[in-house]
Structures are given as structure tokens and as C-alpha cells.
Amino acid sequence: MAFFIKETNVKALPLTIIQEEDLYIPFPSTDSVSFDDNVLLPIGLLSYSQFDATSQEKILIAVPNIQGTFYGDFPFITYSLTSKGWTLDNEYHDGLKYGLEERYSTYYKKAKDFYSKNNHLTYDLSEGGHEWLFKIGGQPPLGQNWCSSLYDEMGDNPELDNYFDVMDEESGPEFESMNAKEITYFDEELEKEFVYLGMFSYDTYLDGGGECIVFYQPELKKVMVVAEFS
């Protein structure tokens, strides 16, 4: 497994979503997209046209309602678009017997109700500034703890080493161009590249702290979510 630093520019420029837009619907229901609502807590419905102008796909961004999401049982979790809609991939079904802690599910319902009434979310669901719902595109935030769950090839990846060297300097001839390069994740078992879609905060939706890093494999119609708790 590896991250690829590519010569192409990022597929989608960074964009912070605060409330519903044409390209992003917060808290989608089963009326707007088919998914297993017993297992997936819907965060948003993202238009893939941001990443591929020819695509009409709508991708479900969700929190898998299994304990392994937060307790390190899995380095990452995937769910896919099937004939039954978006469903958790079979290899994670063992986690279904536990589910999320009740406080996460309870807070999610409060956040959903708050958004329905106010058309935005705030910190602690109280008065205050609008919290971001989802950050689309750009580059994945490499160098954090979540990365160690996905790869161990740091010593064998000169391009990745150079990326960190350039970014650490925060200036110089390569810094601007390196900021624009596309970064994908290659799964050796599947022999497929995953595109970085963006991220959201668990704190916003579940009062759980940390962020969720989201990738997508367009050929397999598979979403990969990775927890970050630095």
C-alpha cells in the first residue's frame, strides 16, 4: 500500500462546505439516495463532478455505525454502491454486533435535528459561528496518525520523502508546485487507486473528536473512511 505523488494537479481545488450546495447535500435521506440506514449514518451526498466533469455520480459520505470506527479494530473501513444501494463491505460485518456507543448515535440525531431547523451546524449545537460540514478536495493531510494505518513504506518512497521535505520548508521553488500535485492512495490488494475526496469532523456530527479522511475508488464504487485522532 502506498501514497502516490502524481504529476497531475489535484482533481478538485479545496472547498469548505458550510451549508447545502448543488454539489453537496448534508444529512441525505433514503429518499435522495439508497443506503443501509441501519449501518451507515449519512453525513453528506457529494457530487463526483467536482473530481470528474463527465460524471453524474452522487457519492454517499457516511460514518459506518460499527464500534471499529473509533476503537482501532480496523485501519480503515469501506462501503460500496451495490444493487441494494450503499452498504458496508462484508469484511467489516463482524463489527455490527457492537455498533457505535449510544452517546455518538444520540448526538448525531441532535445534530441532524439542529441542521434541519437552522440550516447550519455550530460548535456544541449552541449559538455561535457556523461549523464546516465537509472540506472537499485538495490534498489529504499527510503526516498525521491516520497515515500510519495505511502504509509503512516511508523508507522506500523517495517521492513521498521529498514531499515531506518540501512541505516542511513551507517555501522554496518546489513548495507551490508540490501543493498542487495530486495525491492518491494505492491499494495493492485491490490493485486500484483511491482518489482523495475530503474530510469531515467527528466532533461536528458525533461529539467524538478527530476527523474522518475520505477516499473513493470510482471503478469499484467504493468509499474508504479513515479515522484521525492526533
Q: How many CB atoms lie within 10 A of CB 208?
A: 21
Regarding predicted confidence, which is higher, 154 or 185? 185
Regarding predicted confidence, which is higher, 56 or 154? 56
- Nearest partner of 204 among 15, 16, 12, judged by Cα: 16
- pLDDT for residue 69: 87
Domain chopping of the chain, boundaries: 2-228
Q: Which cell is 148 given?
A: 500510519
- pLDDT for residue 113: 97
What does pTM read for this prediction? 0.94
Report, in angstroms and rounded to the nearest whole number, the Rg of the chain calculated over CA atoms: 18
Asked if residue 5 has pLDDT above 80, the reply is: yes
Greatest mean pLDDT range, 2-6, 38-42, 145-149: 38-42
- pLDDT for residue 101: 83
Strand residue runs (E) in 89-191: 134-136, 181-187
Q: How far apart are CA 144 and CA 141, in angstroms?
A: 7
- pLDDT for residue 152: 59
- pLDDT for residue 71: 76
Share of the chain above pLDDT 90, in %: 67
- pLDDT for residue 14: 95
- pLDDT for residue 55: 95
Q: Which cell is 68 given?
A: 471499529
As a whole number, mean pLDDT of residues 121-142 equals 93
Asked if residue 132 has pLDDT above 70, the reply is: yes
Asked if residue 72 has pLDDT above 80, the reply is: no
